[in-house]
Amino acid sequence: MTLYPLGLRLDGRQVLVVGGGAVATRRIPALLDAGARVHLVAPAITPALHGLADAGRVMWSAREFTPSDLDGVWLVHVAIDEPLAAQAISSLAEERQVFCVRADDRHAASAWTPAVTRHGPVTVAVLAGGDPRRAVAVRDQLAGLLASGAASGSAGSAAFASSSAASSSADAFVGEASTGGAPAQGLDRPHGTVALIGGGPGDPELITVKGRRLLQQADVVVADRLAPGLLLDELRPEVELIDVAKLPYGPAAQQDEINRILVDRAQQGLFVVRLKGGDPYVFGRGGEEALACFEAGVPFTVVPGVTSAIAVPAVAGIPVTHRGVAHEFTVVSGHLAPSDPGSLVDWQALAQMRGTIVILMGLRHLPSIVDTLLAFGRPADTPAAIVQEGTTRHELTVRGTLTDLPLLAGELRPPAIVVIGDVVTALGPI
């Protein structure tokens, strides 16, 4: 079968995804990044998809598929492993002349999802005649060329990349995209070990080179809601994706269960990646997971990540330090109220410091945090800002003063970073 490669412009167009498991968790971030209006139909969904639904990123119908779900749809992703149900949906899509991707049987589908890597404005998508492993191998070769600069996008480089794909007997399509990343070469996987990897603050290109390399070698990926979703779209098809997303103040997988999964899979001889948002050791419970591996005799490695505490304010135009303005900054967790006996933060000392305060996980308790800082002497007119979903296409920044923060929070939702200090206005109009 000869395929016709095509780049779909889905911005503002409706896409239907049927099924709420690991496949949907991997595919939906790329659809959202393309600007699609995603309608998710499934009786139950993963915690990560719950987070997208709660944030209004996807419309979730908690039920089985009905034919009317196809109304106004441009593309269908069937992400269920029930062949009869999948066939019924794809047949209805065929009747309506809507392209349909099937996770259970690609050869029975009218459209295929390629192996993809993103590098800045360039997307490389590879199809290999229905052989996903070969497609991934060719994709990784091309991604390596992009990362090294050998295929920079010039006419000569593009021809070289195309030639490489052709020599591997696969079909490759290179086009434009809005986000990106780079890749890993096909090295031997360190079986029976765990890698605790910081995925960065949200933009998939902000993962480290080592982090991406190890991620693409993983047999198992244990991810939470803050891990950059587009990175999951680049996993090899046989990778086991375990969603242990922790929604603030909502359903959560217990930490001891996460520890058990890491140890269990590694003891089966698999290479396990624990993919986190930000840095593993900055409010990421990476230390607990490292201890669990150590006590079980499981070798592990830690790959630091770009922490949102510094990166998110920076991208929003706020340096956490600035000459003549702030010579110190303090990062604190706001997941407990200042009055909570379990809080380890010295709020009085913070209030009396002149430097920058960066608060993670603090939206819920922001009113009491502000009251506490004011009570201990922090000036009411101290510049302040909140940055929601920083470094992503959904980034939103609001600015004001310390006393304005509870009002500024308004309808904002996690993840969000709160910055308090004169650095908020240090760069003026930037």
Q: What is the CATH number of the domain that holds 53?
A: 3.40.50.720
Active site residues: 224, 246
Q: What is the pLDDT of residues 338-353, one digit of tens each?
A: 999 999 999 999 999 9
| Residues 58, 364, 329, 290, CA torsion sign | negative
Instruction: Please tell me the total count of domains within the chain.
Output: 4
Residue 335 lies in a domain: yes
Q: What's the confidence (pLDDT) of residue 251?
A: 56
Q: Can you tell me the distance from the alpha carbon of 277 to that of 352, in angstroms, rounded to the nearest whole number?
A: 31
Task: State yes or no: pLDDT of 167 exceeds 50.
Answer: no
Domain containing residue 23: 14-108
- 318 and 373 together in one domain: yes
Count Cα atoms within 13 angstroms, Cβ side, for 252. Answer: 8
Q: Which residues pair with 59 in a beta bridge?
A: 39
- 214 and 233 together in one domain: yes
Closest among 122, 115, 83 to 239, alpha carbons compared = 115
Q: What percent of the chain has pLDDT over 70?
A: 89
Residue 96 lies in a domain: yes
Chosen domain end from 63, 85, 108: 108
Residue 181 lies in a domain: no
Residue 182 lies in a domain: no
Task: State yes or no: pLDDT of 117 exceeds 90.
Answer: no
- In degrees rounded to 5, what are phi and psi of residue 186? -80, 75
Task: State yes or no: pLDDT of 182 exceeds 50.
Answer: no
Q: What is the CATH number of the domain that holds 326?
A: 3.30.950.10
Element holding 129 (H helix, E strand) = none
Mean pLDDT of 308-332: 96
The pLDDT confidence band at residue 146, using thresholds 50, 70 and 90, is: confident
Mean pLDDT of 286-305: 97
What is the pairing mode between strands 58-61 and 37-41?
Answer: parallel
Q: What is the CATH number of the domain that holds 216?
A: 3.40.1010.10
Task: State yes or no: pLDDT of 19 exceeds 60.
Answer: yes
Q: What percent of the chain has pLDDT over 90?
A: 67
Mean pLDDT of 395-402: 96
Q: What's the confidence (pLDDT) of residue 140?
A: 78
Q: Are 317 and 427 in contact (CB under 8 A)?
A: yes
Task: State yes or no: pLDDT of 225 exceeds 90.
Answer: no
Cα Rg of the chain (Å, integer): 23
Q: Which residues of 254-273 are buried (b: 16+ CB within 10 A; e: fewer)?
A: eeeebbebbbebbeeebbbb
Q: What is the pLDDT of residues 354-398, one digit of tens each?
A: 999 999 999 999 999 999 999 999 999 999 999 999 999 889 999
